[in-house]
Amino acid sequence: MLIIAERINATRSRIAHALRWRDAGLIAREARAQAETGASFIDINAGSDPAREAEDLEWAVSVVQQATDLPICLDSSNPEVLRRGLELLSGKAVMLNSVTGEKAKLSAVLPLASESGALLVALAMDDRGLPDTAERRVEITGAIVRAAEAAGIGRDRLYVDPCIQPLSTSPDQARAVLAAILRIMAAFPGIHMTCGLSNISFGLPNRALLNRTYLACLILAGLDSAIVDPTSDGLMDAVRAAQALAGRDEYCMNYIRAMRPRTP
């Protein structure tokens, strides 16, 4: 299970502030706190100010690299920003977040992933917008897979995000995304599935409960990655329980180890 830790994101005001004022201590603490939960990648989104984004990302990457050994997931909607981040991380394991099925995005981001060997988050949306149904998600994924393979990116490097929309406004979203995951995995064997989880609970109370409950269900369906706040209450415990239930934890050893009372 590949956990992409999402807390260093400029849409959070504390992070935007830390980027603006070069508060390395705060960024480093966020990186370490997420690393300690067992996360796999530290996502960095520095997009608070388009004029400064590339420079802010470069600074944050260097801070996170000093704070943890975890690989970095470069997160930007601007391909040029991704390119500059990749230069800084040349030769290291890295993930790009994200490409979509939009034609302009595919032609700008696929070459970056191809050349660098990066793993690639692919959002199942395209020039027609966000998908509502499982069918549309399968269709968009197909277009992304074909374009990626033509660019020399095997589907084993693709992490498809089915683009969860809020349950509060779309009551059938949770089931549609679950169905999409099952269908995409059946249609494109070897592909990975991830998801930006927290959208599901937008506008509802006790979001942590809805998020971790839904994540566990998606893991049992086959999800093998997620973009989450791994410090969220109970989230990583739910992940470990779901991994055991999914038969992906031999003799439940990871689960048993994680449940041991921690010695001080």
Using CA atoms, how far apart are residues 169 and 251, in angstroms rounded to an integer?
40
Q: Nearest distance from residue 3's CB to a copy of itself, in Å?
A: 16
Using CA atoms, how far apart are residues 202 and 198, in angstroms rounded to an integer?
7
Q: Binders of a copy of itself: how many residues, by CB under 8 A? A: 33
Binders of a copy of itself in range 94-133 (CB under 8 A)? none
| Pairing, β 94-100 against β 119-123 | parallel
Using CA atoms, how far apart are residues 85 and 59, in angstroms rounded to an integer?
10
By C-beta, is 143 or 209 nearer to a copy of itself?
A: 209
Task: Find the part of the chain contacting a copy of itself (CB under 8 A) among 17-25, 102-110, 164-172, 184-192.
Answer: 164-172
Establish how many alpha carbons lie within 13 A of residue 54's alpha carbon, considering only the half-sphere containing its beta carbon.
12
**Planar angle of CA 116, 147, 192, nearest 5 degrees:** 70
Q: Which two tokens stand for residue 49?
A: 């100010």
Task: Find the part of the chain contacting a copy of itself (CB under 8 A) among 66-74, 91-99, 111-119, 165-173.
Answer: 165-173
Q: Nearest distance from residue 133's CB to a copy of itself, in Å?
A: 14
Q: Nearest distance from residue 213's CB to a copy of itself, in Å?
A: 4
98: preceding bond cis by omega (within 30 degrees): yes
| Pairing, β 225-228 against β 192-193 | unpaired
- Residues in contact with a copy of itself, shown as a per-residue x/- string from 238 to 257 under the rule CB under 8 A: x--xx-xxxx--xxx--xx-
Instruction: Name the nearest CA neighbour of 6 among 183, 211, 169.
Output: 211
Binders of a copy of itself in range 167-226 (CB under 8 A)? 167-168, 171-172, 174-175, 178, 200, 204-206, 209-210, 213-214, 216-217, 220
By C-beta, is 192 or 212 nearer to a copy of itself?
A: 212
For a copy of itself, the binding residues (CB under 8 A) are 167-168, 171-172, 174-175, 178, 200, 204-206, 209-210, 213-214, 216-217, 220, 237-238, 241-242, 244-247, 250-252, 255-256, 259-260
